[in-house]
């Protein structure tokens, strides 16, 4: 097979990522909420119980199975009418509810609450619970193994292969199973071509403030100095071998061509051939297609085997990045830097972004003119790392930074009010956090230091109302 031309690859990348933003679309909202499943008996979650829950949920809500693992257990199901998806993310220890796209937030809230109440009442029989943490506080009791299927086994293998990259000048953490105990809250919003660059640039500059407000990932008893250790999990894993695949954009885009060049610099690390999921050393996408053969590994049911493949244009489907502002093939930006929130606050993250989308230009102006956060010699990604530490950065004025955070929140509120649905009510918990200068991670750590049992905090973070 002839090597594909660079022009062909660039054109295909443009069609995948940029072209969809030019299409006329309604402004839809898509929300994904991942939640850890916790066995309150401080034992491993019994996957037999989880599979039983899945079956009863499908019967109750008319979901249809769309994904089976290699043991014929359902790991993904969809309601064809609403587009809602019930699934397990990476592991049967982590439940994900993905809400079908809607134009307003109350419709999403109503359906999620119905699902959540059913699941919680069902799990209560076994002394299990869902709860709102970015890192499962009982992770050390669990069997942190992937869902037995091609994709998740490949991902698990890829993350565990970090030791073979010991010649790289980067630090790898020792938590390659993090996908099995790490939970996020994500929202996808349509983005118009004319707003694409400004949206990415401005929301990138917002990332330090988001840690301040939303941080909820503490690795208890190990890295309690970090209040959003999910950043470390992604950046210091094999996903971060190419830093352009993860985290923040460390450049401000002035042209679509610059954004296109950034996309071209991202790496691919897997593909499929037949029924084989194949993993290989991450390679920048343009370099990948210059190779006549690529050597990878696949699982044959017993062990990993080496295989050589020829790059194919369809492999672009497997180019996957994990940026905080991730441009997707749907013409949306997926905002993916926020941890799962305490359940009673589950709508805060989505409402925050929806409101700010309505006030994009005002948000840009606010951040461009800011001196509380910027102008101290640090980039947005460096500032986010500082804010990820429990101790507030010494070179910043805390009062001024929190005034900036409140100004951002006020813009979001104005944006939601302009939509006319009354959605601004979802922001109230965030105003309380700013007033108290706290976030879920800080609250967790402070309560633990007061002697509050972890079990009580788990129950508090699981309450819906």
Instruction: Note the pLDDT tens digit of each residue in 176-221.
Output: 999 999 999 999 999 999 999 999 999 999 999 999 999 999 999 9
Check residue 39 and give its pLDDT. 98
Instruction: Note the pLDDT tens digit of each residue in 403-433.
Output: 999 999 999 999 999 999 999 999 999 999 9
* Alpha-carbon gap, residue 329 to 335, rounded angstroms: 14
Place 4 in a pLDDT band, splitting at 50, 70 and 90. confident
Q: Is the pLDDT score of 234 beyond 90?
A: yes
Check residue 427 and give its pLDDT. 98
Say if residues 335 and 187 touch (Cβ distance below 8 Å). Answer: yes
Give which of 115, 116, 126, 160 is closest to 50, Cα–Cα. 126
Check residue 232 and give its pLDDT. 96
* Alpha-carbon gap, residue 261 to 265, rounded angstroms: 6
- Residue 462's φ and ψ, nearest 5 degrees, are -100, -10
* Alpha-carbon gap, residue 86 to 139, rounded angstroms: 22
- Residue 65's φ and ψ, nearest 5 degrees, are -65, 130
Instruction: Note the pLDDT tens digit of each residue in 259-315.
Output: 999 999 999 999 999 989 999 999 999 999 999 999 999 999 999 999 999 999 999
Q: Whole-number mean pLDDT of the chain?
A: 96
Cβ within 8 Å of residue 368, ≥6 positions away:
none
Check residue 130 and give its pLDDT. 98
* Alpha-carbon gap, residue 421 to 89, rounded angstroms: 32
Give which of 411, 283, 282, 304 is closest to 352, Cα–Cα. 411
Report the b/e string of 417-445 with b at 16+ CB within 10 A.
Answer: eebeeebbebbebbeebbeeebbbbbbbb
* Alpha-carbon gap, residue 14 to 332, rounded angstroms: 14
Instruction: Note the pLDDT tens digit of each residue in 123-137.
Output: 999 999 999 999 999
- Taking phi over 0 as left and psi of -120 to 50 as alpha, with beta for the rest, 144 belongs to beta
Place 1 in a pLDDT band, splitting at 50, 70 and 90. low
* Alpha-carbon gap, residue 359 to 374, rounded angstroms: 20
Dihedral, CA of residue 286, residue 289, residue 294 and residue 298, to nearest 10:
80
Check residue 2 and give its pLDDT. 64
Q: CA of 261: how far to CAs of 172, 252, 264, 316, in Å?
A: 27, 13, 5, 16
Cβ within 8 Å of residue 105, ≥6 positions away:
29, 347, 350, 351, 354, 421, 423, 426
Domain 26-146+181-255+322-462 annotated CATH 3.30.70.1880: no
Instruction: Note the pLDDT tens digit of each residue in 5-59.
Output: 999 999 999 999 999 999 988 889 999 999 999 999 999 999 999 999 999 999 9
């Amino acid at each position: 097979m002839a090597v594909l031309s660079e022009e062909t690859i660039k054109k295909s990348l443009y069609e995948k990522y940029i072209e969809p933003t030019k299409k006329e679309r309604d402004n839809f909202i898509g929300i994904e909420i991942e939640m850890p499943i916790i066995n309150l008996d401080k034992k491993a979650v019994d996957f037999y119980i989880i599979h039983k829950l899945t079956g009863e949920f499908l019967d109750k809500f008319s979901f249809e199975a769309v994904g089976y693992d290699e043991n014929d257990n359902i790991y993904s199901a969809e309601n064809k009418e609403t587009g809602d998806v019930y699934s397990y993310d990476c592991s049967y220890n982590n439940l994900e509810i993905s809400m079908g796209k809607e134009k307003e937030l109350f419709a999403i809230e109503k359906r999620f609450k119905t699902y959540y109440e059913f699941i919680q009442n069902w799990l209560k029989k076994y002394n299990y619970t869902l709860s709102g943490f970015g890192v499962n506080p009982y992770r050390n009791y669990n069997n942190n193994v992937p869902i037995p299927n091609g994709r998740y086994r490949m991902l698990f293998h890829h993350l565990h292969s970090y030791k073979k990259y010991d010649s790289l000048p980067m630090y790898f953490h020792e938590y390659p199973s993090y996908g099995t105990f790490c939970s996020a809250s994500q929202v996808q919003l349509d983005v118009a071509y004319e707003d694409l660059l400004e949206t990415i640039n401005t929301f990138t500059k917002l990332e330090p403030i988001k840690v301040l407000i939303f941080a909820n990932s503490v690795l208890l008893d190990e890295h309690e100095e970090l209040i959003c250790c999910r950043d470390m999990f992604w950046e210091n894993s094999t996903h971060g071998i190419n830093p352009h695949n993860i985290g923040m954009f460390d450049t401000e885009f002035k042209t679509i061509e610059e954004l296109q060049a950034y996309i071209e610099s991202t790496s691919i690390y897997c593909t499929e051939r037949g029924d084989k999921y194949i993993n290989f050393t991450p390679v920048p996408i343009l370099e990948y297609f210059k190779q006549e053969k690529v050597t990878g590994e696949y699982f044959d049911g017993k062990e990993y085997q080496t295989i050589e493949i020829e790059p194919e244009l369809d492999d672009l489907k497997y180019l996957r990045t994990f940026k905080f502002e991730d441009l997707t093939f749907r013409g949306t930006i997926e905002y993916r830097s926020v941890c799962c929130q305490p359940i009673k606050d589950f709508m805060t993250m989505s409402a925050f972004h929806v409101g700010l989308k309505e006030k994009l230009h005002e948000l840009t102006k606010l951040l461009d003119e800011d001196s509380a956060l910027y102008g101290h010699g640090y980039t947005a990604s460096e500032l986010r790392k500082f804010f990820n530490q429990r101790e507030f950065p010494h070179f910043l004025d805390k009062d001024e930074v929190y005034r900036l955070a409140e100004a951002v929140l006020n813009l979001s509120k104005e944006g939601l009010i302009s939509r006319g649905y009354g959605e601004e009510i979802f922001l109230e918990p965030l105003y309380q956090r700013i007033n108290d200068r706290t976030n879920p991670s800080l609250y967790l750590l402070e309560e633990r230091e007061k002697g509050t049992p972890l079990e009580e905090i788990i129950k508090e973070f699981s309450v819906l109302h």
